[in-house]
């Protein structure tokens, strides 16, 4: 089945009254390159999440974003009473020194002391909302729902890619038929051109030998094998759509198609056939571009 490597998926869940959003995006890549762009994802779940995403999406440059909606409770800072008490004990000890008694009595009242303590390092810190095992499970499920939606997006894009592949491969097959319509004329033109050149020579020549050389020369320019192989490659290309994740295989078959088209062009020796070959190359180039984004 044809799938695109480009996609987007989003899912939301609620854990302990807090809303979490998982977004995942992918573009083409040679392998599964997964980036977890969020500090919310529990460290002990990163390996599991990478494995699940890789197993589902197979290939691509994949970015996962997880965000949490802040509530009044989660936005509130947390005062560390133990650290604050430790600072207060140190200040009280300093206030007992003879050389500092006047400083404390003149400059530090109750309100000023409290403000000073709250500004001390690590006294006020962000509230941590660590997830418990059940919360982690719900978050992983949310991420996989987003991944499933990305996969659905890829399938929808794949329908368009397959349609384009079939159209362009069909065009190449039609061009092969056009080439055949010019072949008899091509052979006649080659023969006439050689005979005409020989007729201008001031010496006579062996006509039997000429026929042998003509046959040998025309056989060298024969493109029947290239046409047969190109048709087979096109057929194989279309059959491969039914396989799972056929992108790499399709790219290889497209390369083989290119070899036959190039050989056909080099042997053409005919203006109209060469024009048809150029149109074949144009169709094939667009096929190759699409295989880069095919899973």
Q: How does residue 64 score in pLDDT terms, banded at 50, 70 and 90?
A: very high
Residues near 201 by Cβ (< 8 Å), separated by ≥ 6? none
Among 186, 187, 211, CA closest to 198: 211
Q: How does residue 5 score in pLDDT terms, banded at 50, 70 and 90?
A: very high
108-151 per-position pLDDT tens digit: 655 677 777 777 787 776 555 578 899 999 999 999 999 999 99
Q: What is the per-residue pLDDT for 16?
A: 85
Instruction: State how beta strands 32-36 and 60-68 pair.
Output: parallel
Please name every residue paired with 8 in a beta bridge, in sequence order, or none if there are none. Answer: 25
Q: What is the per-residue pLDDT for 152?
A: 97
Cα-based distances in Å from 150 to 26, 218, 277, 291: 8, 55, 39, 19
Tokens of 166: 């079939």
Task: Say how far apart CA 129 and CA 146 lie, in whole Å.
Answer: 23
Which one is predicted more confidently, 204 or 177?
Answer: 177
Q: How does residue 73 score in pLDDT terms, banded at 50, 70 and 90?
A: low
Which one is predicted more confidently, 19 or 92?
Answer: 19
Cα-based distances in Å from 267 to 45, 186, 214, 217, 226: 60, 11, 15, 11, 10
Q: What is the per-residue pLDDT for 39?
A: 83
212-249 per-position pLDDT tens digit: 666 656 667 788 899 999 999 999 999 999 999 999 99
Q: How does residue 84 score in pLDDT terms, banded at 50, 70 and 90?
A: confident
**111-115 contacts: CB < 8 A, separation 24 or more?**
113/88
Q: Over 60: is that where the pLDDT of 76 sits?
A: no
Percent of the chain surpassing pLDDT 90: 56
pTM: 0.73
Cα-based distances in Å from 163 to 90, 157, 169, 246: 76, 10, 10, 15
Cα-based distances in Å from 127 to 109, 180, 223: 29, 77, 75
Burial 184-205 (b: 16+ CB within 10 A, else e): eebbeebeeeeeeeeeeeeeee
Q: How does residue 74 score in pLDDT terms, banded at 50, 70 and 90?
A: low
Residues near 225 by Cβ (< 8 Å), separated by ≥ 6? none
Are 10 and 150 within 8 A, CB to CB?
no
Mean pLDDT score across all residues of the chain: 86
- Tell me the mean pLDDT in the region 272-289: 96
Q: What is the per-residue pLDDT for 97?
A: 78
Cα-based distances in Å from 206 to 93, 129, 133, 217: 123, 98, 94, 16
């Amino acid at each position: 089945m044809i799938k695109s490597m480009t996609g987007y998926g989003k899912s939301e869940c609620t854990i302990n009254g807090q809303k979490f959003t998982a977004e995942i995006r992918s573009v083409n890549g040679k392998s599964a390159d997964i980036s977890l762009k969020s500090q919310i994802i529990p460290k002990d779940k990163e390996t599991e999440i990478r494995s699940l995403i890789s197993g589902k999406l197979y290939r691509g440059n994949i970015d996962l974003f997880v965000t949490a909606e802040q509530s009044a409770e989660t936005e509130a800072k947390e005062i560390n009473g133990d650290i604050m008490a430790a600072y207060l004990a140190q200040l009280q000890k300093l206030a007992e020194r003879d050389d500092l008694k006047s400083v404390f009595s003149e400059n530090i009242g109750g309100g000023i002391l409290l403000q000073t303590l709250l500004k001390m390092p690590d006294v006020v810190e962000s509230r941590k909302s660590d997830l418990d095992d059940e919360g982690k499970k719900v978050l992983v499920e949310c991420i996989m729902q987003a991944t499933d939606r990305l996969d659905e997006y890829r399938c929808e894009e794949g329908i368009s890619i397959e349609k384009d592949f079939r159209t362009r491969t069909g065009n190449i097959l039609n061009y092969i038929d056009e080439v055949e319509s010019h072949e008899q004329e091509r052979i006649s033109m080659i023969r006439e051109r050689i005979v005409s050149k020989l007729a201008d020579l001031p010496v006579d020549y062996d006509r039997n030998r000429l026929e042998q050389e003509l046959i040998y020369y025309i056989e060298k320019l024969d493109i029947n094998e290239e046409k047969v192989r190109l048709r087979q490659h096109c057929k194989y290309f279309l059959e491969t759509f039914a396989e799972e994740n056929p992108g790499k295989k399709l790219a290889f078959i497209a390369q083989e198609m290119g070899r036959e088209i190039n050989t056909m062009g080099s042997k053409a020796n005919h203006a109209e056939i060469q024009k048809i070959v150029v149109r074949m190359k144009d169709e094939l180039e667009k096929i190759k571009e699409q295989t880069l984004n095919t899973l």
